[in-house]
Amino acid sequence: MDRRSALAAVSAAGLVLGLLVAGTTSATAADPLVSQGKGVTASSVEGAGLEAAKAVDGSTTTRWASLEGRDQEWIRVDLGSAHSVSRVRLNWEAAYARGYRVQTSPDDSAWTDVFSTSAGDGGVDDLTVSGSGRYVRVLGTARGTEWGYSLWELEVYGVVGGAPPTTTTTTTPPSNGLGYAFGSRKTPYASGVLRPSGSTSTVDAAVVDYYQRWKSAFVRQNCGNGWYQVISPDADHPYVAEAQGYGMVVVATMAGADPDARKIFDGLVKWKIDHPSSINPDLLAAEQDVNCRSVNGGDGATDGDMDVAYGLLLADRQWGSTGTYDYKQLAIRHVNAIKASEVNPQTNLLKLGDWSSAGDQYYYLSRSSDWMADHFRAFRKATGDGAWDTIRTAHQNLISTLQQNFAPGTGLLPDFVENTNSSPRPPAGQVLESVNDGKYYWNACRVPWRIGADAVTSGDSSSLNAARKLNTWVKSKTGGNPDNIAMGYQLNGTQISGGSAAAFFAPFAVVAATDPGSQAWLDALWNKMLRTPIDGGSYFSASIQLQVMITVTGNHWVP
């Protein structure tokens, strides 16, 4: 860019001096250079001529550069086979990283830090490291300038072979007590995913502010017994499993921004343990009354159980599982109970709860807002059970079928889907809750968020395609004005009610983030969220908006 040409020239002229005085750690050169000319990819590229391959071409006159203004960017080299890595040398252009991590991986999935700093000063960082893997990644976490990141050369030294690295997916938390402190963005999103315009500190501060107001409005310590609960004034009962699941996911994610996060989370865990489903006691009873007693049979609800299990997995990665509660053990028991009691074994689709069994009228009925692909991925990783891949694929295939056959122009999904064992279709009228059960209404309004959460974290083509269909339609339908997002639609896009609610407009921000051409639209949705006050009478809308804000700012991660 013209505005930094002078700095770039200075940087090029000072390379020799940089070799002598810069760098965080002195390294030896005993092992050979193994990265030159190897396959390399990056999270973004600023423009033509600045591609990732320029960083491993052996020339100090060519460079890779990321998009400007974004902290969470990376460049990754594929060594072609497993290597023991002893040295990494980073030759920064003027646009350097103040904070970054060097990581290795055997499979381009599980990453191990071999170096990290928050005090980078540019120049040349010649690092002695100890690690092994086929892949080496430099993950930028904080820019040192207003631009992006730029490397003249990324050099990896090592030898072929080496034992697989010990990954960071154990239950032992880092020395700071947190595995994923809020704002750390340790796991990059898929390439090309957008975030609201503005600095990371500004958008993170907005999330923390909204979280504190959400917490004040809905987090309670009622009925004693060491319990914490999320109240649900707009639900059928004061406490519902869905609200507790939201609470567990949110509080575990916000650790680092809230010093009381673990105390609250453990109170929610105690609530879960003390309110077991009457059908499968490893699940959570769906509803409690004002006296904190389970009612309506005390059986489980799939939506709440999905988030409870996911929240426990987040907690295990966040704090480890050696404290008051063994989060990992509780999570695996909960995940296995979902599979046993809330997944239809014939269709591999989620049922409504553990109360539905073969022969009843709801056995082949499923709720679209329960289809959480990122949760399925986390369950697969935690348990090693390949059935979760099958379950995830069944739901993604159903989403594609429904969009193609019933909403080709909108991508909208209905609240419920019936006949899942034969010809899945939206109900013509009421099957469980209202005459709008076959339309995009108060359940399906969460679908853009749920589909989008998997799209941005995994980059899965099925999730991306489904998300972008929804985004293309709603951006056109509203003329790019989020104030025009209504509270409910027929699957053809015809509005069925007026008004505005965060439960309807906020989720579209997540699918907007999947489209590189939707920055202005995403910013409009973000600004609408910022100017929408929390409604203390609606945990539902407020909890959805909070989780959307977490996701679109890059703070959602899959354990």
Q: Kindly list the catalytic residues.
A: 242, 303
The angle formed by the CA atoms of residues 20, 25 and 31, to the nearest 5 degrees, is: 90
**Residue 290 to residue 237: CA distance in whole angstroms:** 8
- Residues in contact with 268: Cβ distance below 8 Å, sequence separation at least 6, in sequence order: 227, 228, 229, 230, 244, 247, 248, 251, 311
> What are the backbone dihedrals phi and psi of residue 350, each rounded to the nearest 5 degrees, phi first?
-70, 140
Q: Check residue 133 and give left, alpha or beta (phi > 0: left; psi -120 to 50: alpha).
A: left
State the DSSP code for 192.
Answer: T
DSSP class of 166: P
Distance in angstroms (rounded) separating the CA atoms of residues 121 and 98:
6
CB 140 within 8 A of CB 125: no
Distance of CA 197 to the CA centre of its chain: 19
For residue 467, what are the CA distances in angstroms to 257, 398, 501, 542?
30, 14, 20, 22
Residue 218 CA to residue 362 CA, distance in Å, equals: 32
Task: Note whether 432 and 362 are within 8 A (CB).
Answer: yes
Neighbours of 28 (CB within 10 A): 10
Tell me how far apart the alpha carbons of residues 153 and 90 are, in angstroms, rounded to a whole number: 6
Q: What share of the chain is helix, strand, coil (3-state, %, to 5)?
A: 40, 20, 45
Distance CA 151, CA 234 (A): 53
How many C-beta atoms lie closer than 10 Å to residue 171's C-beta? Answer: 15
Number of neighbouring beta carbons within 10 Å of residue 69: 14
Place of tokens 């017994």: 225
Pairing of strands 239-240, 124-143: unpaired
Query: 97 pairs with which residues across the strands?
Result: 143
- How does DSSP assign 88-129, residue by residue? EEEEE-SS-EEEEEEEEESSSSS-EEEEEES---SSEEEEEE
Q: Is the separation of the CB atoms in 235 and 243 below 8 Å?
A: yes
Q: CA-to-CA distance for 262 and 266, rounded, in angstroms? A: 6
Burial of 318 (0-12, 13-18, 19+ CB in 10 A): buried
